[in-house]
Structure 1
C-alpha cells in the first residue's frame, strides 16, 4: 500500500463526510422559505418561516407562533417530496460512508482482495451519485418555485 494512495483515500473520505454534513444541516434548518408581511405600521410586521418540519411566525414585538407538522401523510405532496428526498439522501449518504470504510485499503475487513475493494469503491461512487442526484432534484424543484406554491 502506497502512502500517497492512503492519503488520497483518507482525503476523499473526509471530503465525503463533509459533503454529508451539509445536507444534515439543511434538513434541520427552519428557513427554507422566508416571507414577511407589514401591517399598517412597522409595529405589526411579521416574518414567516417555512421549513421541512415546521412553520413559524415571528412578530416584531417578540412573539413567536410555531406549527409543527405532526402527521407527514396529511401534508401536501409539495411538502412530502422534499422531506422524502432529503431523508433518502441522508440515509444513502450514511450507508455509503459505512460501506466506503470497508473498501478503503487502510481497513482490513475480511480478505484484503484488491478486486473486491475496487468493486466496493465503484458501488460507493454510484450510491453517492444517487444521493447527490436526490439533492439536485430537490434544488431544481425549489428553483422552479414548485415547493410551497404561493
Structure 2
C-alpha cells in the first residue's frame, strides 16, 4: 500500500470520527432511566442529553424539552458540553489542516517537507481533539 493511500485511509477514519463526534454531542441518550410502576401501561423512560431531556412513554409518545437554563445545570454537564464543543472545533481545524497536508492535494505542492509538516500538525490536532473527548465520554 502506498503512503498516500494510507494517508487517505487515516483521513477517512478521522473524518468518520469527526462526524460521530457531532452526532454524539447532539444525541439525547447520554443518561437513561426508566420507571415501570405497578402498571406496564404507564411505563416511561427518561433520556437526558447535553442540551435537552426527553420522556418516552410505553404508548410510543415521546416528548422532549430543552433545558430552561444551560447555566443552571450541574458543573459536570457544563464541563462535558465545553469539552465536546472544544473537541468539535479542534477536529474541524484538524480536518482543514490535514487536507492541506495530504499528498493527494495540490496545496503547498512546491515544498514537500512543508506539506509533510502540515500533515503531521493535522494528525496532532486530531490526537488532541480525541484526548479532550475521552474524559466526557467515559
TM bin, normalised by shorter chain, reads 0.7 to 0.9
Q: TM-score, normalised by structure 1?
A: 0.82
2:84 is the counterpart of 1:86: yes
2:131 is the counterpart of 1:139: no
What residue ranges of structure 1 are gaps of 5+ in the alignment? 141-150
C-alpha distance in structure 1 between counterparts of 2:107 and 2:40, whole Å = 64
> 1:47-101: CA deviations, max 9, x gaps?
1111111101112234433220243223221211111111111111111011111
CA contact (8 A) 2:32 2:47 kept: yes
Task: Point out 4+ residue stretches in structure 1 off by more than 3 angstroms.
Answer: 61-65
What CA RMSD, in Å, does the superposition of the two structures yield over aligned residues?
A: 1.8
2:11 is the counterpart of 1:6: no
Q: TM-score, normalised by structure 2?
A: 0.88
Match of 1:109, SS? Answer: coil
2:92 is the counterpart of 1:101: no
1:116 is matched with which residue?
114
1:148 is matched with which residue?
none
> 1:9-47: CA deviations, max 9, x gaps?
222211211121221221122111111112221122111
C-alpha distance in structure 2 between counterparts of 1:63 and 1:13, whole Å = 40
Higher deviation after alignment, 49-58 or 108-117: 108-117
C-alpha distance in structure 2 between counterparts of 1:84 and 1:38, whole Å = 34
C-alpha distance in structure 2 between counterparts of 1:28 and 1:76, whole Å = 18
C-alpha distance in structure 2 between counterparts of 1:59 and 1:31, whole Å = 15
1:24 is matched with which residue?
22
Higher deviation after alignment, 122-131 or 65-74: 65-74
CA contact (8 A) 2:100 2:108 kept: no
Match of 1:56, SS? Answer: strand
**Equivalenced residues, count:** 138
What residue ranges of structure 2 are gaps of 5+ in the alignment? none
C-alpha distance in structure 2 between counterparts of 1:119 and 1:14, whole Å = 19
